[in-house]
Chain A
Amino acid sequence: MAYTVPKLEDYSPAALDSAVRELLAAVRQEAGAVSSENEWKEFRDRWMARKNGILTQVNDLWLKAAPGPSKRDVGARVNQLKVEVEQTVDAAQSRASGAASHARVESDRLDITLPGIRRPLGAEHPVIKTMHEVIGVFRAMGYSVAEGPEIETDYYNFESLNFPPNHPARDTQDTIFIAGQEKKQQRDRLLLRTHTSPVQIHSMEKQPPPIRVVVPGKVHRADTADATHSPIFHQVEGLAVDTNITFCDLKGTLDHAMKALFGSSVKTRFYPSFFPFTEPSADVQITCFKCGGKGCRLCKQSGWIELLGCGMVDPNVFKFVESNGYDANKVSGFAFGMGVERITMLKYGIDDIQLFYQGDVRFLEQFA
């Protein structure tokens, strides 16, 4: 039964108390039933509308009808009632709108375990990525970056690097030659550079000592493609020449660079090797970055991985750039070179060098 405002017969305080209690109980009960914005509006109007709202009725039926002596008492109670009804109506509103937004939010619910919308992101080629890492290490050590052409002359690829004509060391380079060069002198004949070392000479021709350069680049050799060989590969070459550059400096520089590239716990080991353009020459091994030197499949149980070749610049090489200030009696230097594919393969455990040149997205996107 909906609440209606009764006419008061008795204006005694006890009767008034009872009427007020009934009214407040009714407003609270109705407020409790409000569950939407619309219901609340109805509820508000029923109680608070100026025209015929319950509070207006109370004013008319209770206050105006009250006999003179009770007016004061009734007035105070009616004012109190107004405050309480207003509070109840307000509270009902916030409860009603809260329920509505709750319902809306409920219906917005997503399965957040569905996959996200991925915008495709390209990946830098792993070889280029490694090359940039190596260059970054040497740039931080004061090396400038230099580049050179992929098609070179015999002079830059061999002669000026102390490979005499017909020397067996040339055979080890598996050179690819450009056709139609027979008419030229041997030193002018064009070939595909077999290493980035020609850029050592180009750099020294351009800049007198001191010099520090790091040279990234693509090189080619007549190697039949298989899992570990490719006619194309990349090298990073380095050269430092100054007064008083020593073998100890070469060791320290590469030890530092290997730690920067593979982690500070890596150790280096140098052992003698042979390159026509360096003397003394060395191959550098680092402790296996997978097993830390204990021996595993990656390092073939040796604990060591061979990573690069290096050496002190051979005085014969300086002879070719002597006019630009490279006097072997005054300056000395070191050079080093490393195969970028090899480092990349070791680093990521890639077992087939051909993957680098196929453009297979399934392979490339692993490096994003």
Chain B
Amino acid sequence: MRVSPNWLREFVDIKVSDRQLADDLTLAGIAVESLREQDGQTLFEMEIGTNRPDAMCHYGVARECSAIYDLALKPIAPELPKAKPVAAPFPLEIQDAKGCARYTARVVRNVKIAPSPAAILDRLKIDDHGGVGNAVDASNYTLMEIGHPTHAFDLDKLAGGKIIVRRARAGETLKTLDGVDRKLDAEDLIIADAVRPVALAGIMGGLDTAISASTKNILIESAWFDPATVRKTARRLGMHTDASHIFERGADWGATVLACNRVAELVLQTAGGELEGEPVDVVARHVVRYSVWLRHKEVLRYLGQDIPVAGITRILKRLGFALYNSVEESLLQGLPAAQIKTLRSEDWQEKARAKAKEMGIELPNWHADKENDLIVDLPTWRLDIEREIDLIEEIARIYGYNKFANTLPAFSGGVVALPNADKQSKVRSLLLALGYNEAISPTFISHSDATAFSSSAVVPLANPLSEEQSVMRTSLVPGMLNMLAWNLNRGTSDVRLFEMGHVFSAPAEETTVETAMLCLGATGNAVGPNVHGPTRAYSFFDLKGDIEAALEAFETGNLTFEKTDHYHPGRSARAMADGITIAEFGQVHPDLAAARKLKQEIYIAEIYLDRLLALPLRVPRYQPLSRFPAVDRDFSFTFADAVSFEQIHSAASALNIAELKSFTPAEIFRGGAVPAGKYSVLLRAQFQSDERTLRDDEVAQWSARIIKALEGIDGSLRSQ
């Protein structure tokens, strides 16, 4: 919305510069987004919140200025000549009180449709309106001025010369002003003449009854339509107009007559003609505005800074609120003058209550403190205000947020971290130290990826952004593969990434489960090209080592690795802590990699973060350092390929030699002198005692037992 500060100055005698005014309005919550010069005057580009339709016009912004600067707001009072009397008022009927609470209309005859004068056109230009003729321009001008949408019909085109506000009937259509034929729905509120719809209530008029160059007589409509009703139809038809923008947010129920007369005044000034009859004002229902008890102590309790009652009074009055000292007094305002007179006696308060009871009004039992409290009547244009707290906000924003002190609240209580915060931070810092960059991939994946990478039931989106992002991710792997591909496609060939995030599944109908997962992805070199030595490609065992490091930060109990065919059938494994799978990892199947155009070996690990974080963090345990030397013995063995290192290791550990501190493979050979189907392995045993220096004969004896055990699993000793 655009606002001309010069126009504002016609309503309020603003003393500050345009720039200062823009700042002051913004700090009062009527945001001026930018200033610009147009035709020698400043214009404000405004950003008015959806809750403030009253401020979406010049007069509304002027009212804010009046409150900010504590200056008088000039009233808008159309000056109209005496209307030609009519025998019967214009026939007007509201059949749907929910959709239309009030409809005001009046007739102007013998107008001459012509371009508007320059003064009007200049104002319309603020909103980039070129002007479409004086009668319609009068309606648009009024919208810019006082913010109430109005419409002008060609009276002679209204069949039967009457207006009915009702819901559309099945099969009815309307060609709207934009030339589009609209198929109407039974929920649409429309304005109809005797036979057909002539306007979409609160959204757009019909083309057939629109003002044209030949129009002689017009009917001005100024109504109040229900926000939800207008919104529903506007959304269904994909329409958004200046009028619907206001009605959807709540127009001023009390402004229909004023707006109607203001349009009439402008029409008479610019198109001539004469008024016929008084305005017809049909009220189907009142938009009820209650009074609010504003307690001074509550102002202090919420805001923390005392604002004197005089200041509060000044602010609220300037904003158009009516203030009273008691409920009874506020009640008087709603009564006819004659009744007020009779009530103005000594015991008027009791009388007022009795009268209210008679009228079926339940008066609240408020005990307003006359010195400090106020009973506040809410204006019809401020539908956003209903409660005491709403008034406190009004006071605070006009008083100025930045005039409040900065204080810190007192607090007694402990700080609680998330139960898994330390564990998560341990895993994260470990992975960072191991050279993995943290990444975040999209939460949405394609349906085909969701089912290809997980067997869990998919959670689909009702309004996905695209086909490729139509379901919640069931696995972090597709996102990881995409990120690896992204890097490879951009010339980064050595990549290590991890992502911590949720995966989603629908285990039963209508329920969803979020599970924390950790995904590692790696490709390229473990040791990259450098001047000091050779490169080394990232391998399965780099990944396994990193997973071991991450898992061993926790009390995993018995940590074991098992061969799987989860990824590449020969290069996949799962890590288990006391039999529970914590991680699955391996090289991505070459076929899958090829399908995703990944031309390098890709390694992936999926770690069940929920299971891992359920384990306690490992507590370091001190082992005294042996004061006696360790003795190494190497054995060179040949085994069949089918024999795994795990079997070799188990065979040695099964001997339960307390002094055997480690038993590790030092070298592995295949080919050459080693027959096909076999491999040669150099095994290194380290013996050490905590109590004494070992003797050669006992080391020799243990070595013999180890050799025997390995021969027991078909190993053949090559050298010792």
Residue of A nearest to B525 (CB): A120
Q: Given the complex of chains A and B, what is the CA–CA distance between A357 and B50 in angstroms?
A: 32
Residues on A with C-beta less than 8 A from B27 are 269, 271-272
User: Which of A124, A218, A270, A272 is packed against the most chain B CB atoms within 10 Å?
Assistant: A272
Chain A residues 123 to 166 lying within 8 A of chain B, measured CB to CB, are 123-125, 127-128, 139, 141-147, 149-151, 166
Q: Which of A7-15, A16-24, A80-88, A274-282 contacts B (4 or more CB under 8 A)?
A: A274-282
Cβ-neighbour of A122 out of B303, B389, B432 (below 8 A): B432
Residues on B with C-beta less than 8 A from A271 are 26-29, 31, 401-402
The answer to whether B301 touches A244 (Cβ under 8 A) is yes
Q: Given the complex of chains A and B, what is the CA–CA distance between A206 and B464 in angstroms?
A: 33
Taken residue by residue from 432 to 444, chain B's Cβ proximity to chain A (1 for < 8 Å, 0 otherwise) reads as 1111111111111
Q: Give the shortest distance, in Å, between A341 (CB) and chain B (any CB).
A: 10
The answer to whether B411 touches A364 (Cβ under 8 A) is no
Q: Given the complex of chains A and B, what is the CA–CA distance between A222 and B461 in angstroms?
A: 11
Chain A residues 306 to 324 lying within 8 A of chain B, measured CB to CB, are 312, 314-315
The answer to whether B305 touches A248 (Cβ under 8 A) is yes
Decide: A249 near B440, CB < 8 A? Known: A117-B530, A231-B465, A361-B495: no
The answer to whether A249 touches B407 (Cβ under 8 A) is yes
The answer to whether B302 touches A256 (Cβ under 8 A) is no
The answer to whether A180 touches B393 (Cβ under 8 A) is no
Residues on B with C-beta less than 8 A from A314 are 389
Residue A245 interfacial (CB < 8 Å): yes
Residue A349 interfacial (CB < 8 Å): no
Residues on A with C-beta less than 8 A from B418 are 145-147
Q: Give the shortest distance, in Å, between A328 (CB) and chain B (any CB).
A: 8
Taken residue by residue from 466 to 508, chain B's Cβ proximity to chain A (1 for < 8 Å, 0 otherwise) reads as 0001001000000010111011001010111111011010000
Residue A212 interfacial (CB < 8 Å): yes
The answer to whether B416 touches A145 (Cβ under 8 A) is yes
Cβ-neighbour of A114 out of B29, B232, B472, B531 (below 8 A): B531
Q: Give the shortest distance, in Å, between B495 (CB) and chain A (any CB).
A: 5
The answer to whether A242 touches B411 (Cβ under 8 A) is yes
Q: Given the complex of chains A and B, what is the CA–CA distance between A120 and B327 in angstroms?
A: 75
Residues on A with C-beta less than 8 A from B442 are 231-232, 357
The answer to whether A251 touches B461 (Cβ under 8 A) is no
Residue A184 interfacial (CB < 8 Å): yes
Residues on A with C-beta less than 8 A from B533 are 117
Residue B719 interfacial (CB < 8 Å): no
Residues on A with C-beta less than 8 A from B487 are 359-361
The answer to whether B249 touches A168 (Cβ under 8 A) is yes
Residues on B with C-beta less than 8 A from A183 are 510
Residue A356 interfacial (CB < 8 Å): yes
Residue B231 interfacial (CB < 8 Å): yes
Cβ-neighbour of A248 out of B404, B435, B504 (below 8 A): B404
The answer to whether A172 touches B438 (Cβ under 8 A) is no
Residue A273 interfacial (CB < 8 Å): yes
Residue A4 interfacial (CB < 8 Å): no
The answer to whether A358 touches B483 (Cβ under 8 A) is yes
The answer to whether A181 touches B497 (Cβ under 8 A) is no
Q: Given the complex of chains A and B, what is the CA–CA distance between A181 and B462 in angstroms?
A: 9
Q: Give the shortest distance, in Å, between A248 (CB) and chain B (any CB).
A: 4
Residue A178 interfacial (CB < 8 Å): yes
Q: Given the complex of chains A and B, what is the CA–CA distance between A232 and B441 in angstroms?
A: 9
Decide: A122 near B304, CB < 8 A? Known: A282-B401, A359-B439: no
The answer to whether A231 touches B444 (Cβ under 8 A) is yes
The answer to whether B393 touches A281 (Cβ under 8 A) is yes
The answer to whether B531 touches A246 (Cβ under 8 A) is no
Q: Given the complex of chains A and B, what is the CA–CA distance between A253 and B436 in angstroms?
A: 36
Residues on B with C-beta less than 8 A from A210 are 411-413
Cβ-neighbour of B438 out of A120, A128, A178, A244 (below 8 A): A128
Q: Given the complex of chains A and B, what is the CA–CA distance between A249 and B404 in angstroms?
A: 10
The answer to whether A253 touches B408 (Cβ under 8 A) is yes
Residue of A nearest to B483 (CB): A359
Residue B75 interfacial (CB < 8 Å): no
Residue A362 interfacial (CB < 8 Å): yes
Residues on A with C-beta less than 8 A from B437 are 122-123, 125, 359, 361, 364-365, 368
Residue of B nearest to A117 (CB): B532
Residue B390 interfacial (CB < 8 Å): yes
Residue A68 interfacial (CB < 8 Å): no
State the majority secondary structure of interface residues on A: mixed
The answer to whether B396 touches A249 (Cβ under 8 A) is no
Residue of B nearest to A182 (CB): B462
The answer to whether B409 touches A115 (Cβ under 8 A) is no
Decide: A222 near B465, CB < 8 A? Known: A114-B531, A121-B432, A356-B440: yes
Cβ-neighbour of A144 out of B305, B417, B483 (below 8 A): B417
Q: Given the complex of chains A and B, what is the CA–CA distance between A220 and B482 in angstroms?
A: 20
Residue A67 interfacial (CB < 8 Å): no
Q: How many A-B residue pairs have CB under 8 A?
A: 252
The answer to whether A273 touches B304 (Cβ under 8 A) is no
The answer to whether B50 touches A169 (Cβ under 8 A) is yes
The answer to whether B401 touches A359 (Cβ under 8 A) is no
Residue of A nearest to B464 (CB): A176
Residue B595 interfacial (CB < 8 Å): no
Q: Given the complex of chains A and B, what is the CA–CA distance between A143 and B414 in angstroms?
A: 8
Decide: A359 near B407, CB < 8 A? Known: A125-B439, A166-B228, A179-B461: no
Residue of B nearest to A116 (CB): B532
Taken residue by residue from 409 to 432, chain B's Cβ proximity to chain A (1 for < 8 Å, 0 otherwise) reads as 101111111100100000010011
Residue B49 interfacial (CB < 8 Å): yes
Q: Given the complex of chains A and B, what is the CA–CA distance between A151 and B498 in angstroms?
A: 23
Decide: A252 near B411, CB < 8 A? Known: A180-B510, A272-B397: no
Residue B512 interfacial (CB < 8 Å): yes
The answer to whether A232 touches B460 (Cβ under 8 A) is no
The answer to whether A253 touches B409 (Cβ under 8 A) is yes
Cβ-neighbour of A357 out of B231, B304, B389, B440 (below 8 A): B440
Residue A255 interfacial (CB < 8 Å): yes
The answer to whether B302 touches A246 (Cβ under 8 A) is yes
Q: Given the complex of chains A and B, what is the CA–CA distance between A249 and B301 in angstroms?
A: 11
Residue of B nearest to A225 (CB): B465
Decide: A272 near B440, CB < 8 A? Known: A142-B413, A144-B416, A176-B461: no
Decide: A151 near B490, CB < 8 A? Known: A121-B435, A247-B302: no
The answer to whether B303 touches A151 (Cβ under 8 A) is no
Q: Give the shortest distance, in Å, between B420 (CB) and chain A (any CB).
A: 9
Cβ-neighbour of A240 out of B404, B409, B434, B482 (below 8 A): B409
Q: Give the shortest distance, in Å, between B67 (CB) and chain A (any CB).
A: 12
Chain B residues 512 to 555 lying within 8 A of chain A, measured CB to CB, are 512, 514, 528, 530-533
Q: Given the complex of chains A and B, what is the CA–CA distance between A368 and B437 in angstroms?
A: 8
Q: Given the complex of chains A and B, what is the CA–CA distance between A144 and B419 in angstroms?
A: 11
Residues on B with C-beta less than 8 A from A181 are 462, 510
Residue of A nearest to B521 (CB): A359
Chain A residues 215 to 270 lying within 8 A of chain B, measured CB to CB, are 218, 220, 222, 224-225, 231-232, 240, 242, 244-249, 251-253, 255-256, 269-270
Residue A332 interfacial (CB < 8 Å): yes
Residue of A nearest to B390 (CB): A279
Residue B405 interfacial (CB < 8 Å): yes
Q: Given the complex of chains A and B, what is the CA–CA distance between A178 and B52 in angstroms?
A: 32
Cβ-neighbour of B462 out of A179, A220, A240, A253 (below 8 A): A179
Cβ-neighbour of B496 out of A122, A245, A253, A281 (below 8 A): A122
Q: Give the shortest distance, in Å, between A12 (CB) and chain B (any CB).
A: 68
Q: Give the shortest distance, in Å, between A216 (CB) and chain B (any CB).
A: 9
Q: Given the complex of chains A and B, what is the CA–CA distance between A312 and B409 in angstroms?
A: 13
Residue B214 interfacial (CB < 8 Å): no
Q: Given the complex of chains A and B, what is the CA–CA distance between A72 and B484 in angstroms?
A: 95
Taken residue by residue from 148 to 161, chain B's Cβ proximity to chain A (1 for < 8 Å, 0 otherwise) reads as 00000000000000
Complex A-B: 17 CB contacts under 8 Å: A114-B531, A122-B438, A128-B440, A144-B416, A192-B443, A222-B463, A231-B469, A252-B407, A256-B408, A269-B27, A271-B402, A272-B28, A357-B442, A358-B483, A359-B483, A360-B492, A362-B490
Excluding A120-B435, A240-B409, 6 further A-B contacts by CB distance (< 8 Å) are A141-B408, A184-B510, A218-B443, A271-B26, A359-B486, A361-B487
The 10 closest A-B pairs by CB, nearest first: A246-B304, A272-B29, A359-B483, A120-B435, A248-B304, A252-B406, A359-B439, A280-B393, A144-B416, A122-B432
